[in-house]
């Protein structure tokens, strides 16, 4: 496993991280590692890439007119 060193952390950020660690019953190092892992898992690429992927997936699909479908349903 690799290690990372962070320098010049602002005092207020350090204090908040320390408080978060204590509230979660973790060491400061465990808390920072947890937050980094959580952030990396949330990062799924830019929204433009996601939009392109969805457009590619849906390109050949036919869509129905939902308004017409709802009206037909109400007329029954």
Q: What are the residue boundaries of the structural domains of the chain, listed by start?
A: 11-75
Residue-level pLDDT at 10: 96
What's the confidence (pLDDT) of residue 50? 82
pLDDT at 15: 97
What per-residue confidence (pLDDT) applies to 22? 97
What digits encode the pLDDT tens for the residues 7-63?
Answer: 999 999 999 999 999 999 999 999 999 999 988 887 777 778 888 888 898 888 888
Q: Where are the alpha helices (DSSP H) in 1-76?
A: 11-23, 28-42, 47-58, 66-75
Task: Give me the pLDDT at residue 43, please.
Answer: 72
Contacts of 34 (CB under 8 A, 6+ apart): 24, 26
Q: For residues 20 and 31, is the Cβ–Cβ distance under 8 A?
A: yes
The two tokens of residue 57 are 């997936």
């Amino acid at each position: 496993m690799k290690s990372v060193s962070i320098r010049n952390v602002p005092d207020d950020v350090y204090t908040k991280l320390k408080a978060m660690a204590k509230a979660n019953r973790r060491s400061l190092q465990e808390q920072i590692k947890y937050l980094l892992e959580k952030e990396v898992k949330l990062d799924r690429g830019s929204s433009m890439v996601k939009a392109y992927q969805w457009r590619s997936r849906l390109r050949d699909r036919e869509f129905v007119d939902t308004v017409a479908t709802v009206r037909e349903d109400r007329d029954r």
